[in-house]
Amino acid sequence: MRRIGIDVGGTNTDAVLIEDDRVAAGVKTTTTEDITGGVLRALEDLVVELGEGGVGALDAVMIGTTHFTNAVVERRALSPIAALRIGLPASASLPPFVDWPEDLTEIVRGEVFQVEGGHEIDGRPIVPFDEKAVRSAARRIRDLGLRSVAVASVFSPLNPDCEDRAAEILLEESDGELDITLSKELGRIGLLGRENATLLNATIIDLARRTTRAFTAALRESGIKAPLFLTQNDGTVMRADYAERYPVYCFASGPTNSMRGAAFLSGIEDALVVDVGGTTTDVGCLKAGFPREANNVVEIGGVRTLFRMPDLLSMGLGGGTLIGDGVSIGPQSVGFRLTEKALVFGGDTLTATDVAVASGLTEIGDATKVRSLDPALVDTARRTMAAMIEEGVDRMKNDAADTPLIAVGGGAFLVPERVPGISEVVHVQHQEVANAVGAAIAQVSGEVDQVFSDMGRDAAIDAATKMAQERAVLAGADAETLSVVDVEDLPLAYLPGDSRRVRVRVVGEALAG
């Protein structure tokens, strides 16, 4: 295996070359405003490491990015969209965008359509599907010039017929020139959370297309012809063209990459992970080498969603975090300007890195520039930061037994050596680029979470497994390497026909170019 892994963060762009399950080279560059500039610089450095003829021997390039999440949080590069809700008369009281922040709604809400249709929880139609109303909505969308639409139908994970037919009509009326996101492909049972994930996906599809194609151009400019994959938030990857269709799966993929990288570098598959970056610290839990999944509603940019997301706790603490009067810690940060603003680099701003250097936790920059700091201030700031991390670890633990903790990220020196409830704090080689390592070693996954009726348990699990395998192959997996890693089934006694909810997840190696 010979892969390049790249993680594009808000502060740094990290890249590694993985050869035969070892880190052959790693580089860290500053993220540029256009994103691809930092990627190009990182690739240039790694191409030198590859040597003559090495570019052609690459199996794949895996890139993780916070670009899509940041777009929603920062309210930029978002496209106006149409929302098509299928569920009248049952869902009229809570229309699409009802619980969105007002400033975000003003940017992305193009037009909202609600039509009759959808299904009851037992699979029966609420009312007949109104194809005429959908066709009218499709023509209105075309006339308005909207290029992306989110479709959500009541209980579509149980019966997707209404969404499938709506997609056919929308494509007919737009001559196939329309980006359509169906909620059945993203979310779970629970209309508003599933619909919100679908709306978010629809509004960033154009951004995702431009971003992935810019990454592809950067690879081409570097002479790399290997296939491009983007990381997902479950610790796996998907082909670039697949990511263009489902960019919401990239949300929170940065911390997830760090967790997968931590497992790979340490050889520990069950542990807590603390990833300290330039702006934030993320705490997560590894189970069997993969991040624990959140089992509740997750907010993204103020929007409540219900779809697959890692269980993470984020804090405003990082290497660039500002230390204020009275020893207040963050959440403001100098971010990628750390090497300009921090005292140890000749700047005039007191940061967490300055406190770490003054405390002897790390040797970065010029330590003489922080010798004049008040020792009491340094000690108080160090203790406060350690307490923040300890509290975050305690909140993420779900077991009373002592657990190992793996510290990664460029600011890992802020993690105290002893943490209550932790058996040991593990520091690993290449911990500063663990996120890029996690991207490089990732596999491709396929997942199904659906209700099956009128079949036995074994038949339902078999059907779900085949669907998950098909999705993994579409995402870029080698069909010969697929294996089932997770199976759950829950009988639904309140539904007829021996109904049960089945969740199956399979993983496989990325198909090499």
Task: With beta carbons less than 8 A apart as the criterion, state whether 277 and 270 touch.
Answer: no
8 Å CB contact between 279 and 413: no
Contact in structure between 300 and 327 (CB atoms under 8 Å) = no
* Cα–Cα distance for residue pair 70/343, rounded to 1 Å: 28
Question: How much is the pLDDT for 163?
Answer: 97
Percent of the chain predicted with pLDDT > 90: 57
Q: Return the SS3 of 183.
A: helix
Look-up: residue for tokens 């779809």? 307
Q: What distances in angstroms separate CA 143 from CA 72, 138, 146, one per listed residue?
A: 27, 9, 8
Q: Mean pLDDT in the chain?
A: 89
pLDDT tens digits for 179-212? 999 999 887 778 999 999 999 999 999 999 999 9
pTM score? 0.85
* pLDDT for the residue 80: 97
Helical residues (DSSP H) of 277-426, grouped into ranges: 338-341, 352-358, 375-396
Q: What is the pLDDT of residues 305-330, one digit of tens each?
A: 887 788 888 888 988 899 988 778 87
Give me the sign of the Cα torsion angle 135, 137, 138, 144: positive
Instruction: Express each pLDDT in 381-415 by its tens digit.
Output: 999 999 999 999 999 998 888 999 999 998 999 99
How much is the pLDDT for 400? 84
SS3 state at 61: strand
For position 53, what pLDDT does the model report? 54
What string of H, E and C letters represents the secondary structure of 189-229? Answer: CCHHHHHHHHHHHHHHHHHHHHHHHHHHHHHHHCCCCCCEE
Distances (CA, A) of 417 to 62, 92, 423, 470, 485: 32, 55, 11, 45, 34
Please name the helix (run of DSSP H) or strand (run of DSSP E) that holds residue 135, with its range, or none. Answer: helix 131-144
Q: What is the pLDDT of residues 443-486, one digit of tens each?
A: 999 988 888 888 899 999 999 999 999 999 998 999 999 999 88
Instruction: Report the half-sphere exposure of 207 (CA within 13 A, side-chain side).
Output: 26
* pLDDT of amino acid 513: 62
Nearest to 81 by CA among 147, 32, 177, 16: 147
Predicted confidence at residue 331, as pLDDT, reads 82
- Checking if the pLDDT of 176 tops 90, the result is no
Q: Average pLDDT for residues 12-37, to the nearest whole number?
A: 82
pLDDT confidence band for 28 (50 / 70 / 90): confident
Per-position DSSP letters for 64-114, written without gaps between them: EESHHHHHHHHT-SPPPEEEEEEEETTTTTS-TTTTS-HHHHHHHEEEEEE
Report CA-CA distances (Å) from 180 to 141, 174, 204, 208. 12, 11, 12, 14
Q: What is the CA radius of gyration of the chain?
A: 24
Number of H helices, E strands in the chain: 13, 23
Residue 156: CB atoms within 10 A of its CB come to 28
Q: Report the pLDDT value the prediction gives residue 235, as an integer from 0 to 100.
A: 85
**Tokens found for residue 258:** 């760090």
pLDDT at 55: 62
Model pLDDT, residue 223: 84
Euclidean distance between CA atoms 503 and 464, whole angstroms? 7
Is the bond preceding residue 89 a cis peptide, omega within 30 degrees? yes
